[in-house]
Amino acid sequence: MPNPLPLSGKLEENTLPGLLSCLYEKKNTGTLSVARDGIEKSLYFKGGNIVFASSSYEGDRLGEMLLKAGKINLQQFEAASKVIKATGKRIGGVLVELGFLVPKDLFWGVKHQVREIIYSLFDWTEGEYRFYPGDIPSGEVITLHMSTANLILRGVKRINDWTRVSRGMPPMGAVLKVTADPLKLYQDVDLTGDEKRVISLFDGKRTIKEVLALAKAGDFEALKAVHVFYSIGVLEEAEGGELRQDGPAASVGEPGTLIDRISVHKAFIDSKSQNHYELLGLDSEASQKEIEAAYQKYARVYHPDQQFKDGMEQLKDELEELFSKVKEAHAILSDDSRRWEYDLSLATVMSAPGRAEASRKGKPKNPAKARDAFLKGVKNLKAKDFESATVKFKEAARLDSTNPEYFSHLALTLLQRPKREAEAEEAMLKAIELEPGNAGHYANLGLLYQKAGLKEKARESFDAALRLEPKNPKALKALGIKK
């Protein structure tokens, strides 16, 4: 990201996207005033986020904005203006009182007005700005929740001057990489497929010029995207043009494939009940060398860069949590003193009353009773008594958590009950974890996603089943393929 910009100066010397991003990153609260030709526009910040905007320009007033947007007509605007002149009331309240607007449309209008004021500043090529830190005037400001990154993205898209867009960026020969900082990476920004592909092309080796040549969106549109990503810190310069040591995220499988996403999602579910050793796939006697190797492996697998691969964007939150947990596990286990304290806490927890059974992970508690509960569950399922079947299959899975059949039947039963899709998915993923080579589990997972209306996930699950068993009847039927 570019160096922090001064909090007062001239727009022709600094970039507005860089300035807004700087205020966001520093979590500033206060008012940014921008002026030129007798017009002053103010942006109000709270914790780095833009929450409101105002303008002295008549064309930026709420009434004019609503009129231009077609929310009110000229007759209504004139009638409201007469009331305002006589009473001094605000136009928004008057429009609602007169029945010309409903509160919902008024809220939309205020947000639209704020956005348009902000976007208009991206058209200014000159002017003076100053940031005034401190509390914003609560009596006159309506706090709105808007993404700073999204506002920058939309504002830059309105610029049609190559020189202006390229200003404030590194030279075309500079090598950029995607940041590893989750706070910058996980900003709320709505990207198109082309914009995501532009990001994915920055691998720490390619120059900006090379990426523009590879981008499908066209040089100028791609340059706008690069300008935004660099301004908000998603892209940063790679030292010496070298790929960073921890590298971009490694694939769990091939980029964007089913096993990629299912593995990440399954790992996320498993992480809820795992300790640091289990998370990194280690035993409690692991050496420092083994801990470091495991950390490097899983930090790459769950690196935030993964979200920019096609089809991975829906796992954004899960990747962030997994990556954070891996870093925490490494920080504790790689420090001898902290590791000793952590081992002691594990020993205390596992020796506590009622936890002895839980410590024997992977060992059936009572296989005979588990089988008996399972067979009763099957009878209930055949009788379409789904509630009783759920109870029995859960009991079987609790008594023997090593049997994938119990989890698979539990998932299929939960699928028959309303609003139990999440539990069903978790049970089916557990079955896949225990028996990853069973095509039937993937086919059942596909049926689950199909019922939930997740067509893409369903298709990927059926494809996975067919990779394991090319003639799997459930997958073929679901995909409409004749045997």
Say yes or no to pLDDT of 478 above 80.
Answer: yes
Q: Say what the pLDDT of residue 79 is.
A: 92
472 vs 157: CA distance, rounded Å = 48
Report the 3 state secondary structure along the chain: CCCCCCCEEECCCCCHHHHHHHHHHCCCCEEEEEEECCEEEEEEEECCEEEEEEECCHHHCHHHHHHHCCCCCHHHHHHHHHHHHHHCCCHHHHHHHCCCCCHHHHHHHHHHHHHHHHHHHCCCCCCEEEEEECCCCCCCCCCCCCCHHHHHHHHHHCCCCHHHHHCCCCCCCCEEEECCCHHHHCCCCCCCHHHHHHHHHCEEEEEHHHHHHHCCCCHHHHHHHHHHHHHCCCEEECHHHCCCCCCCCCCCCCCCCHHHHHHHHHHHHHHCCCCHHHHCCCCCCCCHHHHHHHHHHHHHHCCHHHHHCCCCHHHHHHHHHHHHHHHHHHHHHCCHHHHHHHHHHHHHHHCCCCCHHHHCCCCCCCHHHHHHHHHHHHHHHHCCCHHHHHHHHHHHHHHCCCCHHHHHHHHHHHCCCCCCHHHHHHHHHHHHHHCCCCHHHHHHHHHHHHHCCCHHHHHHHHHHHHHHCCCCHHHHHHCCCCC
Q: Which range among 80-84, 106-110, 181-185, 364-368 shows the weakest confidence by mean pLDDT?
A: 181-185
Say yes or no to pLDDT of 376 above 90.
Answer: yes
Q: Using 50, 70 and 90 to split pLDDT, how confident is the model at 246?
A: very low
Say yes or no to pLDDT of 232 above 50.
Answer: yes
Buried b (16+ CB within 10 A) or exposed e, 205-243: ebbbeebbeebebeeebbbbbbbbbbbbbbbbebeeeee
Say yes or no to pLDDT of 252 above 60.
Answer: no
Q: Say what the pLDDT of residue 148 is.
A: 78
Q: Say what the pLDDT of residue 33 is.
A: 94
Average pLDDT over residues 437-460: 85
Q: Please give the structure tokens belonging to residue 28.
A: 């500033």
Q: Say what the pLDDT of residue 261 is.
A: 63
Domains of the chain: 8-146 (no CATH), 156-241 (no CATH), 258-359 (1.10.287.110)
Q: Say what the pLDDT of residue 184 is.
A: 65
483 vs 477: CA distance, rounded Å = 9
Q: Say what the pLDDT of residue 309 is.
A: 58
Say yes or no to pLDDT of 138 above 80.
Answer: no
Q: Say what the pLDDT of residue 251 is.
A: 35
Q: Using 50, 70 and 90 to split pLDDT, how confident is the model at 56?
A: very high
Average pLDDT over residues 68-74: 89
374 vs 223: CA distance, rounded Å = 60
Q: Say what the pLDDT of residue 176 is.
A: 87
The string of pLDDT tens digits covering residues 275-305 is: 888 888 887 777 888 888 888 888 777 776 6
pTM over 0.85: no
Q: Please, which residues have CB within 8 angstroms of residue 213's CB and are 6 or more apart in sequence?
A: 219
380 vs 390: CA distance, rounded Å = 9
According to the per-residue pLDDT averaged within each range, which of 133-137, 189-193, 306-310 is highest?
133-137
| Average pLDDT of the chain, as a whole number | 79
Above pLDDT 70, what percent of the chain? 81
Q: Using 50, 70 and 90 to split pLDDT, how confident is the model at 240?
A: low
370 φ/ψ sector (left φ>0, alpha ψ -120 to 50, else beta) = alpha
The string of pLDDT tens digits covering residues 385-403 is: 888 888 888 888 888 888 9
Helices 219-231 and 193-201 pack at an angle, to 10 degrees, of: 70
Average pLDDT over residues 452-465: 85
Say yes or no to pLDDT of 78 above 60.
Answer: yes
- Maximum C-alpha span of the chain: 85
Say yes or no to pLDDT of 458 above 80.
Answer: yes
- Residue 450 CB: number of other CB atoms within 10 A? 16
Q: Say what the pLDDT of residue 42 is.
A: 93
Q: Using 50, 70 and 90 to split pLDDT, how confident is the model at 183?
A: low
Q: Say what the pLDDT of residue 142 is.
A: 59
Q: Please, which residues have CB within 8 angstroms of residue 66's CB and are 6 or more apart in sequence?
A: 72, 77, 95, 101, 109
Identify whether the C-beta of residue 284 lies closer than 8 Å to the C-beta of residue 334: no
Q: Say what the pLDDT of residue 205 is.
A: 84
Q: Say what the pLDDT of residue 354 is.
A: 40
Q: Using 50, 70 and 90 to split pLDDT, how confident is the model at 32?
A: very high
Q: Using 50, 70 and 90 to split pLDDT, how confident is the model at 34?
A: very high
41 vs 20: CA distance, rounded Å = 14
Q: Which range among 229-238, 256-265, 346-355 shows the weakest confidence by mean pLDDT?
A: 346-355
Say yes or no to pLDDT of 247 above 90.
Answer: no
Average pLDDT over residues 185-203: 73
Q: Using 50, 70 and 90 to split pLDDT, how confident is the model at 348?
A: very low
Q: Using 50, 70 and 90 to split pLDDT, how confident is the model at 363?
A: low
